[in-house]
Structure 1
């Protein structure tokens, strides 16, 4: 895993059509985001397999950010926990 990045510090506030569609799809699928099949698969993975998946995810995030993507952290909603 890498500890440093070489991404631009310039914030891109524009959202293109692909990003908007992906966000809409993600919002629509959020209820089904974790299903029993995903949990069962994750529980059967070896430590090495999990490390490979983590690295692949990190690489995908780095590529997304390098293309100008932005990750926005949303604070948890206290009302949603009830």
Structure 2
């Protein structure tokens, strides 16, 4: 448990940062899920559009420190390969 004023403030800051990061992760997952749904439906045009919308969100997660750079690159690579394979 936080005792000093500084540790209490850090605990508050950590909680606030956790909430922001949680929302960012959720938003990224939503965009990725839309790509997955478009791939499973077999509609390449919709999948390409969803992938183009998901890429900036994923890269923004990298910039904000929510997702590791290599993880984002791996996800984009695998998704784009699956979208390309539809046609």
Please report the TM-score for the alignment, with normalisation by the length of structure 2: 0.29
Q: Which has the larger radius of gyration?
A: 2
Please report the TM-score for the alignment, with normalisation by the length of structure 1: 0.30
The structure carrying a bigger helix percent of its residues is: 2
**Which structure is richer in relative contact order (CA contacts within 8 A, separation 6 or more)?**
1
